[in-house]
Amino acid sequence: MGVWTHSDGATARESLLVRRLIDQGIRDPRVLAAFARVPRAFFIPEEYQTEAEADRPLDIGCGQTISQPYVVAAMTEALQLTGRERVLEVGTGSGYATAILAEMMPVSSTIRTIEIIPDLADRARRVLRELGYTNVEVRVGDGALGWPEAAPFDAILVSAAPREVPPALLDQLAVGGRLVLPVGPSPEQQELQLWRRVPSGTLEKRGLMQVRFVPLTGSSQRSIH
């Protein structure tokens, strides 16, 4: 868990964020509590600090964005975390969603997160460490390949959009596990999907909503972008 503390002003702003998420349909109390505890402003460049509580994506450099809080909340809620899962995140970006996931898991667990852009990975690693998140491991690499040596995972969250679901991520999904990711050929044609490996071992898919994410990049994606 993070060790940062709120000022009174920050407390008010985070409370407004939680109320907005409730109004938008987020119901999981653990998700809402995590959003109340994680300061989005820590994860964005200084020039965007005044927009930290805006419910929209913001530029974080390197052609990437920090996702809209509602979308992060909806994706996290769809994972149905109980605190006992092995969790993988693909697309660390700013580290904001990573912190949300870390807040929902015991400090004894490890959130594994992969970012293909070294500068973003270094920045996220530094911010997460400064905020006291000791249960996060950041790797630079191609997220579409997953993290084979730590698999299988009970929950996988992908914060960038492939054209098709990466087979490696499906292969690394445990029985009973959930994979939440945007899929589509362009930002205008993306669907947020929930994949679940049922006890028989087969996979079930459910569409959740239309979204707009940056594309998932890496050597394994070059042939389809």
Structure tokens at 9: 């002003």
Cα–Cα distance, 181 to 81 (Å, whole number)? 16
pLDDT at 225: 30
The DSSP bridge partners found for residue 6 are none
In a domain, 139, yes or no: yes
Res 43: pLDDT: 95
| Strand runs labelled E in 3-75 | 58-61, 64-66
Does the residue 27 lie in any domain? yes
Question: Which domain CATH number covers 16?
Answer: 3.40.50.150
CB neighbours of residue 42 within 10 Å: 18
In angstroms, rounded to a whole number, what is the distance separating the alpha carbons of residues 218 and 200?
32
Mean pLDDT of 23-51: 92
The tokens describing 210, both together, are 């239309």
Three-state DSSP state, 156? strand
> Is 3 among the domain residues?
no
Tell me, yes or no, whether 72 lies in a domain: yes
Structure tokens that stand for 177 in this block: 């596990």
**pLDDT of 8:** 39
Q: Given a cut of 50, is residue 224 above it in pLDDT?
A: no
Residue 156's nearest CA partner among 139, 134, 133, 174 is 174
Q: Which domain holds residue 66?
A: 8-224
For residues 9 and 157, what is the distance between their CA atoms, to the nearest angstrom?
31
Instruction: Classify residue 85: in a domain, yes or no.
Output: yes
Confidence grade of residue 53 (pLDDT, cut at 50, 70, 90): confident
Q: What's the structural domain count of the chain?
A: 1
Residue 89: how many CB atoms within 10 A of its CB?
Answer: 27
Q: What is the mean pLDDT of the chain?
A: 90
Q: pLDDT-based confidence at 220, cuts 50/70/90?
A: low
Model confidence over 173-212: pLDDT tens digits? 999 999 999 999 888 889 999 999 999 989 999 999 999 9
Tell me which of 7, 15, 67, 219 is the catalytic residue.
67
Q: 141 to each of 10, 156, 165, 195, how far by Cα in Å?
A: 34, 16, 17, 23
For residue 71, the SS3 value is helix
Q: Mark 121-155 as b/e (b = at least 16 C-beta within 10 Å).
A: bebbbebbeebebebbebeebbbbbbbeeebbbbb
Residue 190 CA to residue 59 CA, distance in Å, equals: 20
Q: List C-alpha distances in Å: 219 to 64, 147, 222.
A: 18, 15, 5
Q: In whole angstroms, what is the distance from residue 24 CA to residue 31 CA? A: 13
Residue 1 inside a domain? The answer is no
Q: Is the entire prediction scored with pTM above 0.75?
A: yes
Active site residue 67: yes
pLDDT, tens digit (0-9, with 9 covering 90-100), for 96-137: 999 999 999 998 999 999 999 999 999 999 999 999 999 999
Q: Of all residues in the chain, what percent carry a pLDDT higher than 90?
A: 76
Residue 2 inside a domain? The answer is no
Looking at the DSSP bridge assignments, the partners of residue 90 are 114, 158
Q: Is residue 88 part of a domain?
A: yes
Rg of the chain over all Cα atoms, to the nearest angstrom: 16
Specify the range with the lowest mean pLDDT, choosing from 10-14, 20-24, 123-127: 10-14
Q: How far apart are CA 102 and CA 138, in angstroms?
A: 12
